[in-house]
Amino acid sequence: MRTNEEILNEIHSVKNHKKTTQHIYKHSINKYCELNKLSLAELIEEAEKEEEQGIRWKHRTLKRRLLNFRKYLMDNYYYNTVSNTFTPVLVVYKYFEIEIHDLPRIDKKSYNNPKPISFKDLPDKEIIREAVNICTSTMKAIILFMSSSGCARRETLNLTVMDYMNATKEYHNTDNIMEMIDVLNNIDNVVPTFNILRQKTQKYYITYCSPEAVTAINHHLLSRQNLTPESQLFKIHEDYLNQQFIKINNELGLGKAGNYNRFRSHMLRKFHASTLYNDGMSLDKVNDLQGKSKNSTDEVYFMTNPADLKQEYIQHLPALSISKEVEKITVKSPEFLKLENTIVEKDEKIKDYEKLIYDIDERLRNIEKKEENFKENDFEDLLI
């Protein structure tokens, strides 16, 4: 008899499930099997036998098992979790062509509803400062990146070193990882441009991160060995990342917001959105930076200019910057720095020309003075 993993792997292969979906299915099926004290293969075999025996749906064990599982989920979880956990079980049965009739509908009001998260529940800058002071260099880089970019956990963990190299390409001209880090560490106020695939919508969007996040990322990369462009930008497993957020939340004594810890990855995404919006950025621009979908018409006809979006992000960057020192900086784009350097070079050339002209004038004055002295001496000689 096949194991749960073997059965799920077959389904994942046929349906081409992503890793996140595979993780959800594994979690869901494990709960379902534990509740029924049977393996997935045994549950499927049971359902097939009853169907072959012609037992009416209302009398089948499968219906009772599904209703019991849904009731268990409703008693212990919120609506979204109930839906996300229950659906994979139905999909598995339907994959094996097992007949499932409609189950009795349940009013959404019957589900546990989470307490709404308010602005005061969000971690503020002081909390984030304390968090980065007590965590590892890897977590520091992740926290500063997520809070300044608004990236969700999955997008953050999917980033590669190559993504980072491409995001910072306007500041360097190298394909060597160590050379890139060296160049970036010698430039103030680097603001990378990330082109990211949002897993939830399967659409690309553009976002940026803060210079302090860049510094932390570089420090994190320098601590690692055998880096390649294909390496994860943040070498950490999702489960371990969750554990680290729990550890930080507990060490800071932050407690919960509703049924969830106050300090978790999704709250950093909320911090990013709320901070930018309260600092005066339009809701549309905030949504652009977070990769939230527009309606289909807007997506076709209205496209955000990445250069304009970056300049607006830079204007609001002090609001997102966690370090008190970084809050006071003025971030300049590479184009602005190039123009500024050109102006400085021109100013220096003008000064050189002015000095040259002054020297020429001085020489001319000396020559004129000598000529006058010569004429006076000649005139005196004539009088003698």
pLDDT digits (tens, 9 = 90+) for 125-141: 999 999 999 999 999 99
List residues bridging with 205 in a β-sheet. 196
Task: Evaluate whether 174 touches 180 at the Cβ level (below 8 Å).
Answer: yes
**What DSSP state is assigned to residue 119?**
G
The span from the CA of 242 to the CA of 260, in Å, is 12
Determine the distance from the C-alpha atom of residue 298 to the mean position of all C-alpha atoms in its chain, rounded to a whole number. Answer: 24
Task: Evaluate whether 193 touches 206 at the Cβ level (below 8 Å).
Answer: yes
Question: For the purposes of burial, counting CB atoms within 10 Å of the CB of 16, is it exposed (0-12), middle (13-18) or buried (19 or more)?
Answer: exposed
Q: What angle do CA 91, 93, 96 make, to 5 degrees?
A: 105
The span from the CA of 204 to the CA of 60, in Å, is 46
Residue 382 clears pLDDT 50, i.e. is over it: no
The span from the CA of 166 to the CA of 175, in Å, is 9
Task: Evaluate whether 182 touches 168 at the Cβ level (below 8 Å).
Answer: no
Backbone angles phi, psi at 292, to 5 degrees: -80, 140
Instruction: Please give the class, per CATH, of domain 121-328.
Output: mainly alpha
pLDDT score, position 379? 46
Of the CA atoms within 13 Å of residue 268, those in its CB half-sphere come to 29
Q: Mean pLDDT over all residues of the chain?
A: 88
Question: How many contiguous H segments (helices) and E segments (strands) does the chain have?
Answer: 17, 4
The pLDDT tens digits of the residues spanning 159-177 come to 999 999 999 999 999 999 9
Share above pLDDT 90 across residues of the chain, in percent, rounded to a whole number? 68
Task: Evaluate whether 72 touches 35 at the Cβ level (below 8 Å).
Answer: yes
* Length of the chain counted residue by residue: 384
**What DSSP state is assigned to residue 228?**
-
Residue 85 binned pLDDT confidence (cut-offs 50, 70, 90): very high
CA distances from 176 to 16, 29, 119, 173, 179 (A): 34, 44, 43, 9, 5
The pLDDT tens digits of the residues spanning 305-339 come to 888 999 999 999 999 999 876 555 555 555 555 55
pLDDT score, position 201? 82
Both tokens of 27, joined, read 């979690």
Residue 42 clears pLDDT 90, i.e. is over it: yes
Considering only residues 56 and 374, tell me which one the structure prediction assigns the higher pLDDT.
56
Task: Evaluate whether 208 touches 191 at the Cβ level (below 8 Å).
Answer: yes
Q: How is the chain split into domains, by residue range?
A: 4-110, 121-328, 335-384
